[in-house]
Amino acid sequence: MADMNINEVNSLHDTRISDYNIFLSTISKRRTTPALRASYDMMSKDAIFLSRGNPNPETFPIIESTLTLRDGGKLHLAGITMEAAMQYGSSAGDPEFRKWLIKLQRQLHNPPTLDDSRRPSSLDVIINTGCSEGIFKVMTATLNSGDAVLTEEYTFPLLFSTIVPLGARAVAVVSDDQGMIPSMLEKILSTWNEKTNGKRPQVLYCVTSASNPTAITWSLARKREIYKIAHMYNILIVEDDPYYMLQFNTTKVPTFLSLDVDGRVVRLDSFSKVISAGARLGYISGPRQFLHKIVQHMMCSVISASNLSQAVVFQTIQRMGHDGFIKHVENVRDFYQRRASMANQMAEKHLKGLAEWVMPTGGMFLWIKLLNIKDSSKVTEKAAKHGAVFNAGFCFCFDQTLSSYIRAAYSIVADDQMDKVHLHFLITYICAYNPIKVLVDSDDGYVSVMTSFCEQVGDP
Ligand SMILES: Cc1ncc(COP(=O)(O)O)c(C=O)c1O
């Protein structure tokens, strides 16, 4: 070691991935940059474009717009800004907006791969239409028919809707309130039989902050251990993290992106929960070479995220500045934290002894385990008839196995409705739980049921 120079020592510790082809699906490998789009990103702004079939903005009916912000401020879109917003643009997103987002990622996550070396693993950020599109594009880029994706037992079900048509499946790794259990992941990978199960999984999908549906946040210790295993088995981690900024704890758990010394994390962020869901805007951070494949897919699908949405959202957050944006999101977080504690109080009041739940660590969901009920869908069906719609837990498992859980979203239920919803739910719960259901169909059903219920099991 004494004879080595510093570069040699560094290269010994350099675990950066140098080629992402190993992770790519056949479809993705076949993708190339469409010749017409290539000219788009290549040329300087001052060039005279005879190469673009762009519509002439002089023919567009909208030329100017003023938007009023909640704080009374105004956004004014006019002139070349408006023209650009109404025009085609770069598939990877507005370059200035991307620079702003890279700075944000540096401030929030300080990713080890964020350097200027332009290595295949160097961090890049592209703008897309949100985490849903991110899931679709990343899964399409990585999965062939017969492949498997590692997930938590309960996860965001859009993943399943995406991978099933690709001929792929999810393999659930047992998880607890700290996140995926490393020994369970290691067991799956070390005992994987390629003859019977097909190729060993190369992709791990996770929702690590205030998860939808479980509302848990992975601990840092777990992330470190899972990352180590991903390193050992060369797995790409897809960190779908739209609730990262909505963690209730003021100290956020560091992300996989912030631990990513290899360049194996593809991180999905979204403006949906903090600026607008209708703008359909998000961003993907990950290895440059891999993201290039996603951009190629965008070139021949959506072309780019809406330039109008990009202009509106970028102006909004640019006006706030990076610190102001983070402050804005803290206010959003406080809003949901108040709602979470209200939902928790209602559950305490009405469901104690009938169900178990933990106070959400962030986000928008209360994840409730119904005691003595194997199939919560029976209860949710009844609750829906009584005017309170919840999601049954089976929706969030790949194989849709029976589940005792229900998901209650407290994000948009009006304050005065929250108590009512829980009462409705309690009634139907009691109906499913006790053979006294006839009574709830009468006008005074609630009172009758409560009386009978209390006589039998005590006052909840
Ligand atoms: C875990 C998770 N991923 C992705 C999404 C979709 O987000 P977007 O609106 O950015 O597509 C949601 C929205 O509910 C979500 O909960």
Residue 14 placed within a domain: no
pLDDT per residue as tens digits for the range 34-54: 877 766 666 566 777 777 788
Enumerate the β-bridge partners of residue 238.
205, 266
Looking at the fold, whether 296 and 320 belong to one and the same domain comes out as yes
How far, in Å, is the centroid of ligand 1 from the Cα of 242? 6
On whether both 315 and 406 belong to a single domain, the answer is no
Structure tokens at 411: 């994000």
Residue 329 lies in a domain: no
Neighbours of 411 (CB within 10 A): 13
Q: How confident is the model at residue 445 (pLDDT cuts 50, 70, 90)?
A: very low
241 with 361, same domain: the answer is no
Would you place residue 1 in the very low, low, confident or very high pLDDT band (cuts 50, 70, 90)?
A: very low
Structural domain for 416, as ranges: 339-457
Q: Rounded mean pLDDT of 115-123?
A: 92
Q: What is the pLDDT of residues 280-316, one digit of tens each?
A: 999 999 999 999 999 999 999 999 999 999 999 999 9
350: pLDDT confidence band, cut at 50, 70 and 90? confident
How far, in Å, is the centroid of ligand 1 from the Cα of 278?
12
pLDDT at 436 > cutoff 90 = no
- Asked if pLDDT for residue 432 goes beyond 80, the answer is no
Are 134 and 284 in contact, with CB atoms under 8 Å apart? Answer: yes
Residue 430 has pLDDT above 80, yes or no: no
Residue nearest to atom 16 of ligand 1 (CA): 212
Residue 456 has pLDDT above 60, yes or no: no
Question: Do 280 and 317 belong together in one domain?
Answer: yes
Provide the pairing of β-strand 236-240 with 203-206: parallel
- Determine the Cα–Cα distance for residues 20 and 13; give it in Å rounded to an integer: 19
Q: What is the domain count for the chain?
A: 2
Residues 81 and 176 in one domain: yes
DSSP character string of 161-206: HHHTTTT-EEEEE-EETTEE-HHHHHHHHHT--HHHH-SPP-EEEE
> What residues contact 297, with CB distance under 8 A and at least 6 apart?
28, 31, 137, 140, 141
Please report the atom of ligand 1 found closest to the CA of residue 133. 11
Give the integer Cα–Cα distance in Å for 370 and 18: 48
Q: Where is average pLDDT lowest: 22-36, 138-152, 439-453? A: 439-453
Average of per-residue pLDDT across 244-268: 97
Read off the pLDDT of each residue in 26-30 and give the average, rounded to a whole number.
98
Mean pLDDT lowest among 22-31, 95-104, 154-163, 382-391: 382-391
User: What distance in Å separates the CA atoms of residue 345 and residue 357, rounded to the nearest whole number?
Assistant: 12
Q: What is the pLDDT of residues 63-93, one digit of tens each?
A: 999 999 999 999 999 999 999 999 999 999 9
pTM across the whole model:
0.91
3-state secondary structure of 72: coil
CA of 445 to the centre of ligand 1 (A): 38
Q: Which residues on neighbouring strands pair with residue 319, listed in sequence order? A: none
* Each residue's pLDDT tens digit, 130-172: 999 999 999 999 999 999 999 999 999 999 999 999 999 999 9
- In whole angstroms, what is the distance from residue 285 CA to residue 94 CA? 15
Distance (angstroms) between ligand 1 centre and the Cα of 364 equals 12
Higher pLDDT, 351 or 190: 190
How far is the centre of ligand 1, averaged over its atoms, from the C-alpha of 450 (Å)?
38
Encoding tokens for residue 51? 């190469």
Which residues 6+ apart lie within 8 Å of 178 measured at CB?
Answer: 216, 218, 219, 221, 222
Residues 207 and 347 in one domain: no
Q: Are residues 244 and 386 in the same domain?
A: no
Residue 103 placed within a domain: yes
Confidence class for position 2, pLDDT limits 50, 70, 90: very low
Distance 132 CA to ligand 1 centre (A): 6
Confidence band for 426, pLDDT divided at 50, 70 and 90: confident
Mean pLDDT (whole number) for 347-374: 93
**pLDDT (0 to 100) of residue 352:** 87
CA 134–ligand 1 middle distance (angstroms): 9
Residue 433, pLDDT score: 67
What average pLDDT is seen over the chain? 90
Whose CA is closest to atom 7 on ligand 1?
131
In this structure, the residues whose C-beta lies within 6 A of any atom of ligand 1 are 130-132, 156, 207, 212, 240, 242, 270, 272, 277, 282
Q: What is the pLDDT of residue 440?
A: 43
The pLDDT value recorded for residue 383 is 87
pLDDT digits (tens, 9 = 90+) for 4-23: 444 444 445 689 999 999 99
Does 217 share its domain with 348?
Answer: no
Nearest CA to ligand 1 atom 14: 212
Cα 327 to Cα 320: distance, rounded to the nearest angstrom: 9
pLDDT class for 459, splitting at 50, 70, 90?
A: very low
Range of weakest confidence among 287-296, 346-355, 396-405: 346-355
Ligand 1 pocket mutation pick from 154, 158, 271 by most atoms within 8 angstroms of CB: 158
Residue 110 lies in a domain: yes
**Does residue 404 surpass a pLDDT of 60?**
yes
Dist CA 250 CA 178 (whole Å): 18
Does the pLDDT value for residue 180 go beyond 90?
yes
Mutate to test the pocket of ligand 1, among 133, 244, 270, 275 (most ligand atoms within 8 A of CB): 270
Residues 259 and 369 in one domain: no
Based on the fold, state whether residues 362 and 283 are members of the same structural domain. Answer: no
Per-residue pLDDT, 446: 46
Residue 388: give its domain's CATH number.
Answer: 3.90.1150.10
More confident residue, 450 or 102: 102
Whether 106 and 246 share a structural domain: yes
